[in-house]
Amino acid sequence: METPAPAKRPRHLMDPANPVRQVNDRSLTRVQRTVASVLATTTIMHLAAGLIVAAIFVSDDQIAAQIGLNVIAGCFAVIALAVGFAIHGRSPASPWMLMGLLVTAIGLLLTFR
């Protein structure tokens, strides 16, 4: 007994048994890197913002704790920027790292206003 030949699919439909990958995935990789860096950076920056909020709500007689939380928030901001650069394969040693110090300054301004 002969097995019948499988029905031929139209070219615009994908064959689940033989998936076809794109030959050039360069644009897909760029999108994946961008999405990963945005997610990582915003997640870590949310942590830094949470530390600033915690510094605001610490009692006023614990000034050292308020300053420390803001400095830690700035360190996390620098780490967030470094992670974003590293995901894209760029060197984290960049003048953009000074933006982390800006986060510390904003946190101190909000805490001691």
Query: Does residue 84 belong to any structural domain of this protein?
Result: yes
pTM value is: 0.75
**Contact predicate 104/70, CB 8 Å:** yes
CB atoms within 10 A of CB 106: 16
The answer to whether residue 55 sits within a structural domain is yes
The answer, yes or no, to whether residue 109 has pLDDT greater than 90, is: yes
Given pLDDT bands bounded at 50, 70 and 90, which one contains residue 106? Answer: very high
Asked whether residue 97 is assigned to any structural domain, the reply reads yes
Q: Is residue 98 part of a domain?
A: yes
* Model pLDDT, residue 30: 86
Q: How many domains does the chain have?
A: 1
In this prediction, residue 18 has a pLDDT band, given cuts at 50, 70 and 90, of confident
CA–CA distance from 84 to each of 39, 75, 94, 98 (Å)? 9, 14, 12, 14
The band of 22, judged by pLDDT with boundaries at 50, 70 and 90, is: low
Query: Does a structural domain hold residue 19?
Result: no
Integer angstrom CA distances of residue 79 from 19, 69, 71, 83, 95? 40, 15, 12, 6, 14
Q: What is the pLDDT of residue 72?
A: 97
pLDDT tens by residue, 27-85: 668 889 999 999 999 999 999 999 999 999 998 899 999 999 999 999 999 999 999 99
